[in-house]
Structure formats: C-alpha cells, structure tokens
Amino acid sequence: MSFTAPIQLPGLTLDPLWHRRSVFYQVMVRSFVDSNGDGNGDLAGLISRLDYLQWLGVDALWIPPFFTSPLRDGGYDVADYKSILPEFGTLDEFRDLVTKAHERNMRVIIDLPLNHTSDQHEWFQQSRTDPDGPYGDFYVWSDSDEKYPNIRIIFTDYEESNWAFDSERRQFYFHRFFSHQPDLNFDNPAVHDAVFDIVRFWLDLGVDGFRLDAIPYLYESDEGNGEGEPKTHEFLKKLRAMVDRDYPGRIMIAEANQWPREVAAFLGTEEEPECHMAFDFPVMPRIFYSLRSQNAKELVQVLSETTDIPEGAGWGVFLRNHDELTLEMVSEEYRQAMYGWYAYDPRMRVNVGIRRRLAPLLDNSRDELELAHALLFSLPGSPFIYYGDEIGMGDNIWLDDRDASRTPMQWTPDRNAGFSTADPGKLYLPVVQSLVYNYTQTNVESQLAQSRSLLHWVRNVIHVRKAHPVFGLGSIHVLETSHESVLAFVRSYEGAGTQFGDPAEDVLCVFSFAHNPISVTIRADDLAGASLVDLFGGSEFPAFDDSGSLTLTLGTQSFFWLHIGSH
C-alpha cells in the first residue's frame, strides 16, 4: 500500500480554533499495527501508518491510554502515568510520534484517566500499607461501605457496590468503575499537585491536548450524586487556567456522559472556561434512534435546544468509540426500543449499552453507513472517527466486555489481516473472521483498490467537509419540514476577518431517515428565492420559492448538503 507523499509543513498551523476545524481519529495503539511481531500493536506501528491517516484527511489523533498498566481495563487502569507500557514502546518513540504527526500538521491528543488509578499504582500500594505516609490520603477511604448512597454504579454488569474492602488497611476504598480502580481523593491538595505534574509532563513532551476521561466523577459529596459536583468544576477551571497560561493552543476534551445542560457545564463560561470541547453524548444515541424509528423528532428536539457555550468551545461528535454504545442518556422506553433493534442477542449488551461496532449495528447497510457519516460530518462540532469504522470493520461479540470492538485493524487479506506477523494465536485479540466482516474481504488494501468502497467514500466526505469551514465553525438553525422522517438544518458562518480567510457560507443539510423514497417540503421564510448547489457534484438544485418553501425528493436513507446562494 502506498499513499501520496506527505506534504512537509514547517510545523503546526497556529490556529487557536484548530480543534473546531479538525477531523479526529481515535486510534488504540494496541489495535493498530504491530511492528515487532509480538502480537500487540505499538507506537512504531502507528508511526508507520501516519501517511495513511494523512491521506484519509485526519487532523488529530486521540490515543487512548498507553501508560504502564496491568491492562485490566484497556489501559484505563494506569499503574504509572509517566512511563509507557513496554509492549507499546518507549518515551523516545512517543516523542518521535509527536514529531512525525506534527510534520504532517496532525495534532496528538492523549487520554488521561485522572479519576482513578490501577490498584497496582505505587500511590495505592503505599496508601494501603502506610496510612500516615505521604500517600495515605491519596484515595477515598472509609470505615463504612455505606457512604455516598446517592452515587450510582456505572459498571452494572461487573460491580455491586462502589466500595471495596482492603484487607491490608482494613478499610473500604471508593471506586466508580472496577474494584481494581480506586478513585483518587481530589479533596487532597497533594493529589492536585500530582495531577498537574502529570499534565505538565505530557504537555512538555509536545502533546496538543487531553481527553479527560470520566471527568464528572472527580469529587463525591454527601448531598450530591458524584457527577459534576461544584468542586469538580472548580478543579477544571484551575487546570484550564494553567493550560491557557503556560501552554496556549493545547486543549482539554471532556468525557462527560451526561444530559445536555450538564455536559455543557464542562465547557464552563466565557469568564471561567473549563474544557475546550466536550463529547456530544446526548446527540449520539439519538442518531441511532432516528435511523430505526424513521423519525427525526428526537434529533430535531435535541438540536433545537439552545445550549450556550463559550466562544471558541465546541462539541466532539461521534458514532462509536472503544466503549459500549451507551444508552444512559435516553429514556427507558427508547432504551428498550434500541435494545430491540440493535442488541437482539443478549451477548451484544453490556452495562447500560451495546458493545458492537458501527457497521454491524447498521447491518452493513451502505445507505445507513453513508447517512450516519453525513450526520457525523455536518452536525455542530468536530467529528471523531473510531479506527476501522472507515472500512466498516466488524466486531466479535464472543470476546469479553468491550473487547468485542477492539480487535486488530484490518489492513490486508494476508495473515493476521496485515496487522502483525506473529503466530495468529499470539495476537492480543483474534482478527475478525465472521462471515460478513471477514478480514479477507473487509480490509484497507481491498478498499483502496475499489474506487466506490466505503473507505474512498469516507475520505471524500471528509475532504468536502474540510473545504467548507462552516461545518466546524458555523451555527445551526433547525428548519420546519413536512415529513417526520426528515431532519433539515442550515449551518451558517459569517466568515472571519483573520489571516485564515475563512469564507462566509450557508449550507442546507437535509437527511431522510425513511426506509423508502419520500418527498418533503421544507420551510424557511428568510431563504425565499435562495438558489441551491450540491456540495459534492456542483449540480444546481431547484431554488426556494418566493414564499420560502422548497420541495425535494430523497431516496431511501439519503441526504443532501446544499450550498445556499444569493437570495
């Protein structure tokens, strides 16, 4: 496989809003490329595929934890925040990754699980054995396991309590996730110092920002539910102030699986900003709901709600990631409907969600895959692609927990899908060999050779998006339509008088969730007489009439992105 030679840029473009223009790609080091045949992906392997990612149009990588860890939670159980798991590589290789990404004008975001550590972390070992020592108060200890009864359990399939007993210290410790992941005690100022030190360590190494894992859960209180407590927001303001002061241009992204208003709170206010971005957890399940219900009303509602966010802040839009497709942010009725559509086999469920990849969720329907991506790339916010979804990789629901969708990247039809030269039995997880998604058919090389493959389609849509800054920077206005299956909105951008010269533009986006062709009338008084041109092929479309009405026909599960001309 070869890709066009990368254009060497002197360094990163100095754009304070880079995160709002970027297309992000989530890549797990362990799953991408194994450079030394030990069965695990590694940093050198990832470096070797930066050309591929650049060819695809990726502007920023999000790399889940690669620190020293017993890997009992995919690396989110950190045993040492300043060293790299030897199977994955060395700090020098990480530096090399950052340099080579930056040469391609690609940013690197790393994941920081700060809420908890592994029970193997030295801090925890000292905390259990030496309660009066320097780490004695680093974790949340209690003589009772009945404290904080308002705090829900997140890993409902694995844990019965948020407390576990430590036989050494003879006390209970608090854990929001697995019992081998004790929560750090943010009430202890020494924990703040330790966390700031870690943040500085990686920023000094050149990373462009952090995904702040499980960020709502830093503090607990007797009155609250342990999610977005006021002190958690105070801590984030302090962290942001330090990053802005000492490392301008680097960003913080909140992983806050919360209702709209609560997620927005993690972006802070104009005067007291917190994160630069937050993942849009409320929108994501509603995309999947609309696809099967053939009804756009849930999306219309969530997109019409105005949530004020500070200037410069933005959303991270995603379809799938390394976790289950969480259904925590939908009503019980909708959750049951979604289990029925998307997780008809109980093996497909985990906790309050569905452990499947995008293509199997959408039954490998090309129409649905295109429609879902068209939403991903035009909703307000920056899109995050999960590795392998650009080729429609499958999953393996016979593997445990979320490993179902963390299998090796499928590069070629050769041994181990070109991921590794190891003996197949040695791989950290087997490659997907299912009937429909077998790596001999679903792989990068085959899709490169086929001009109409999903991979080429995704690459094209990424490039169209990037040619229109309105998608990253513009506002949204949802329009009235005559058909319940149709979502229509206008993205508008006034243009910036900056050195980046972003043009002003208005784009009409129309999506049909209907499982048959339909005709729809869209109303927008202020668009009376507006001409329309397709962003992909440049064809002229019928204009809005003088009363501000437009009638379109849409094929099964299809969409249009139309440039709005003079009116």
Query: Which residues are catalytic, by number?
Result: 213, 255
Single out the residue of 220, 274, 280, 323 in contact with ligand BGC (rule: CB under 6 A).
323
- In the complex, the smallest distance separating the C-beta of residue 261 from ligand BGC, rounded to whole angstroms, is 20
Q: Is 233 helix (H, G, I), strand (E, B) or coil?
A: helix
Q: Distance (Å, rounded) from C-alpha 64 to C-alpha 76?
A: 8
User: Segment near ligand BGC (CB under 6 A), from 69-77, 87-95, 373-381, 520-528?
Assistant: 69-77
Q: How far is the CB of 229 from ligand BGC (least distance, A)?
A: 17
Structure tokens at 93: 């290789």
Query: For residues 81 and 448, what is the distance between their CA atoms, to the nearest angstrom?
Result: 38
Are the C-beta atoms of residues 550 and 531 closer than 8 Å to each other?
A: no
Q: With respect to ligand BGC, which residue has the nearer C-beta, 378 or 407?
A: 407
Does residue 177 touch ligand BGC according to CB under 6 A? yes
Applying CB under 6 A, the site for ligand BGC has a residue count of 10
Kindly tell me which residue out of 18, 62, 76, 419 binds ligand BGC, with binding defined by CB under 6 A. 76
Stretch that binds ligand BGC, among 72-80, 492-500, 515-523, 527-535 (CB under 6 A): 72-80
- Among 68-76, 375-383, 480-488, 558-566, the segment contacting ligand BGC (CB under 6 A): 68-76
Number of Cβ atoms within 10 Å of the Cβ of 494 = 14
Q: Which is nearer to ligand BGC, 183 or 370 (CB)?
A: 183
Q: What is the DSSP string of 430-497?
A: PPP--TTT-TTTSSHHHHHT-TTSHHHHHHHHHHHHHT-THHHH-EEEEPEES-TTEEEEEEEE----
Min separation Cβ 376 and ligand BGC, Å: 19
Interaction pattern, residues 84-123, with ligand BGC; x per rule: CB under 6 A: -----------------------------x----------
Question: Closest separation between CB of residue 196 and ligand BGC, Å?
Answer: 20
> Minimum CB separation from ligand BGC for residue 239, in Å?
18
CB burial readout 64-91, b (16+ within 10 A) else e: bbbbbbebebbbbbbbbbeebbebbbee
The one-letter amino acid code at 437 reads Y
Residues in the chain: 567
In degrees to the nearest 10, what's the CA dihedral of 468, 474, 475, 479? Answer: -10
- Interface residue with ligand BGC, options 27, 214, 243, 432 (CB under 6 A): 214
The one among 39, 41, 57, 74 contacting ligand BGC by CB under 6 A: 74
In one letter, which amino acid is 458?
V
Which CB sits closer to ligand BGC, 175 or 459? 175
Among 34, 208, 229, 255, binds ligand BGC (CB under 6 A): 255
CB of 281 closer than 8 Å to CB of 253: no
CB-nearer residue toward ligand BGC: 27 or 564: 27
Please identify which residue in the block is written with the tokens 């379109």: 552
- Which residues sit opposite 164 in a β-bridge? 173
d(CA 554, CA 516): 9
Task: Report, in Å, the least distance between residue 73 CB and ligand BGC.
Answer: 5
**Applying CB under 6 A, which of residues 73, 220, 227, 274 lies at the interface with ligand BGC?**
73
The residues that bridge with 551 in the sheet, in sequence order, are 521
> What is the contact surface with ligand BGC in residues (CB under 6 A)?
73-74, 76, 113, 177, 213-214, 255, 322-323
